[in-house]
Amino acid sequence: MSEKVRADKHVKLFIPGPTEVRPEVLDAQADWMIGHRMPECTALIGRIRPKLAKVFLTEKRVLLNAATGTGFMEAAIRNVANGKVLNCVNGAFSDRWREITAACGRENEVLEAEWGQPILPEAVAERLAQGGFDAITVAHNETSTGVTNPIEAIAQVVRQAPNGENIMILVDAVSSMAGVAIPFDDWDLDVLLTSSQKAFALPAGLTFAAVSDRAMEKAKTVPARGWYFDFLVLEKYLLKNQTPATTAVSLLYALDKQLDDMMAEGMENRWARHLAMRDRTIEWAESRGLTLFAPEGYRSPTVTCISNDKNYDISALNAFLRERGMIISNGYGALKGKNFRIAHMGDLQMEDMEALFAAIDEFLAQ
């Protein structure tokens, strides 16, 4: 792709996925094709694995596959949820867990919190107290509302619940992994999954999931796990630095490059940068007399959902921003027009945020 074409089309993405991908990372994809059983490919996956483990803060396996995050959501249910599942729903993406659970024919119960509110550990504890649960699903970062759920505290109450040691904790971290620390091992989670096109700041098409030993053992007892997403098959190949089917080689080139850059930045610095951009976004919104959709203490480090208290025309705002090479997100689904979302995720920097706020201010001054 010529620089010319690339420049003409460029609209910087302040939407909560897909996110902006740097030109160097786009270019990394344009290397020669290799076969997925060739030593060049096993070397590539061999380089990627230890770096991915550092992002997931785990010494366990991080499975990868060519798909988006929804693929591993479905895989999590099919591999380790054999009995009743508790779906914690407080937005559109956690509701997708509920749909997948039902579509896979699993029995389920739903624990709901109002959109914009977090799932509270006390509510989880109360529901699990009745016993009989096999797995629990929860979104770490509800992209539709800008709420981060307290996963560490939720995981603690799960382990204390009846049969808690055997309840599988399945966490969707699609829009937060690589933007915030989620210590998979320390929090004792079972499946923690993400996609390449959000805070990893890569093109879409890869999905990653840390999987506990407990979950791998459980999978052995679950029939009809399928094949493309069978955790046991995936691990068998991963141990040889391979994937069961043809892998998305170009995306792995980009991933390898991006992980090198993340390691060079330092994960602590990357997480701190996300928090600083979040805090600046909140400060900007409040200084304009706007309120936040998520309550304090649960505000996402990667996407801020701002209540449209002043009834701005969000579509007109976005048309204005587009002319200046930027775009933000309207509210999700029923929240369209009621709020709007600004993502500060991936490789965006503070100066990008400042340029965005200046452009929005220019629109508001008209």
Ligand X SMILES: *Cc1c(COP(=O)(O)O)cnc(C)c1O
Only segment of 111-119, 122-130, 136-144, 287-295 that touches ligand X (CB under 6 A): 136-144
How far apart are the C-alpha atoms of 254 and 7, rounded to whole Å? 20
- Residues 59-98 vs ligand X: string with x where CB under 6 A? ---------xxx----------------------x-----
Residue from 15, 17, 345, 359 that binds ligand X (CB under 6 A)?
Answer: 17
User: 């391979």: which residue's tokens?
Assistant: 242
One DSSP character per residue, 300-361 reads: -SSEEEEE-TT---HHHHHHHHHHTTEE-EE--GGGBTTEEEEE--TT--HHHHHHHHHHHH
- Residues 25-64 vs ligand X: string with x where CB under 6 A? ----------------------------------------
3-state helix, strand, coil in the chain (%, to 5): 45, 20, 40
Only segment of 30-38, 139-147, 183-191, 357-365 that touches ligand X (CB under 6 A): 139-147
Residue from 143, 258, 308, 339 that binds ligand X (CB under 6 A)?
Answer: 143
Residue from 19, 195, 247, 329 that binds ligand X (CB under 6 A)?
Answer: 195
Residue 228, interface with ligand X (CB under 6 A)?
A: no
Kind of pairing, strands 84-89 and 108-112? Answer: parallel
What residues between 324 and 343 interact with ligand X by CB under 6 A? none
Query: Could you tell me the smallest distance in angstroms from the CB atom of residue 363 to ligand X?
Result: 26
316 CB neighbour count, 10 Å cutoff: 11
Number of residues engaging ligand X in binding (CB under 6 A): 12
Query: Could you tell me the smallest distance in angstroms from the CB atom of residue 173 to ligand X?
Result: 8
The secondary structure element, H or E, covering residue 181 is none
Helix H, strand E, coil C: the string for 94-162 is: HHHHHHHHHHCCCCEEEEECCCCCCCCHHHHHHHHCCCCEEEEEEECEECCCCEECCHHHHHHHHHHCC
Residue from 95, 172, 190, 347 that binds ligand X (CB under 6 A)?
Answer: 172
Only segment of 172-180, 247-255, 282-290, 292-300 that touches ligand X (CB under 6 A): 172-180
Per CB under 6 A, residues contacting ligand X are 17, 68-70, 93, 139, 141, 143, 172, 174-175, 195
